[in-house]
Chain A
């Protein structure tokens, strides 16, 4: 695939390194001459000095044949405009923007950016996962944000320990898909008995999260 990366900072650099490693044709656009030199020294001739928001620069690097366009500068507005120019002027099929302010996620989707990656949210989620006392951990938000996959650890003093799945009242549109306990991972049925300290993976709606946590941990 031909992939254009806008922004040769730390994120852009390591992203390019990884994509090159996967055998893709990658081109980095970076405004800063020194950064460009550094990238060229380390990764070979994959960097062009220029503004990834400028249509002329994008035309010069053959954006019309790019399969993917990834903007990872640390300015949200630059990432937005670069992706919009790539999408609307050069018809790049897949545009991906890095977002620094998590509030911009919905906006970028509304404005037609195919994929957004919020570095702030990602770091927050990883911190949540690493904090063992946290009773409910977000694993994945499904496209559109209407459903999410969460993990709940069942405390040994929870009232559901020893009960069958079918005896427990879950909030609407919440489904337990997996229980990982003493006997390994199992896809539960109505007769599966909930074990203390088991990890439960569930699909739920963000608004039902609190009720689901309460149902499993209290």
Chain B
């Protein structure tokens, strides 16, 4: 599969490494070159400097041929905007978007985006650990 990941933080880099190990073609986009240090030295994919809310940067990173797009920057709104560009402008078949704010996550989920809120999931997992 051809996957574009926006945001090379801990999650983005780890996801990129996992997919890369699985034999997928991965391209990672970040606005900060220092973030790419998180990618393992064995990483075979592409790392590109650019803003995922900018259509030209997305084209450069190969969004037009992508089968999937994942938005995992620190900013909920940036993720939401980039995911909507991928889905509605470039018609990427699979778009997944991380949204920390549970209420915003709920809204964009009802608007048809595939969303994950680590806040909701994390809190539930922690509760389960605490309650036992």
Contacting pair A85 B88 (CB below 8 A): no
A81 within 8 A of B: yes
**Which residue of chain A has its CB nearest to the CB of B106?**
A55
Contacting pair B104 A54 (CB below 8 A): yes
Residue interface mask A43-71, B partner, CB < 8 A = 1: 00000000001111000000000000000
**Which residue of chain B has its CB nearest to the CB of A79?**
B77
Given contacts A54-B101, A54-B103, A111-B88, contact A103 B77 (CB under 8 A): no
Contacting pair A110 B107 (CB below 8 A): no
Residues of A within 8 A of B78 (CB): 77
Contacting pair A89 B77 (CB below 8 A): no
Report A202 CB to chain B, min CB distance, Å.
31
Residues of A within 8 A of B84 (CB): 107, 111
Report B66 CB to chain A, min CB distance, Å.
18
Contacting pair B53 A56 (CB below 8 A): no
A80 within 8 A of B: yes
User: In the docked arrangement, what's the CA distance between A203 and B110, Å?
Assistant: 41
Given contacts A53-B104, A103-B54, contact A77 B111 (CB under 8 A): no
Residues of A within 8 A of B89 (CB): 107, 110
A125 within 8 A of B: no
User: In the docked arrangement, what's the CA distance between A76 and B81, Å?
Assistant: 9
User: In the docked arrangement, what's the CA distance between A84 and B88, Å?
Assistant: 15
B80 within 8 A of A: yes
Q: Is the interface of B mostly helix, strand, loop or mixed?
A: helix
User: In the docked arrangement, what's the CA distance between A113 and B103, Å?
Assistant: 20
Contacting pair B81 A81 (CB below 8 A): yes
* Interface members, chain A 22-55 (any B CB < 8 Å): 53-55
Q: Which of A53, A55, A77, A81 has the most CB of B within 10 A?
A: A81
Interface size class of B (residues with CB under 8 A): 20 to 34
Residue interface mask A124-137, B partner, CB < 8 A = 1: 00000000000000
* Interface members, chain B 39-86 (any A CB < 8 Å): 53-56, 75-78, 80-81, 84-85
User: In the docked arrangement, what's the CA distance between A67 and B88, Å?
Assistant: 28
Residue interface mask A108-125, B partner, CB < 8 A = 1: 001100000000000000
Contacting pair B88 A76 (CB below 8 A): no
Partner pick for A81 among B54, B56, B80, B110, CB 8 A cutoff: B80
**Which residue of chain B has its CB nearest to the CB of A59?**
B103
* Interface members, chain A 113-164 (any B CB < 8 Å): none
Residues of B within 8 A of A78 (CB): 77
**Which residue of chain A has its CB nearest to the CB of B103?**
A55
Q: Which residues of A contact B (CB under 8 A)?
A: 53-56, 75-78, 80-81, 84-85, 88-89, 101, 103, 107, 110-111
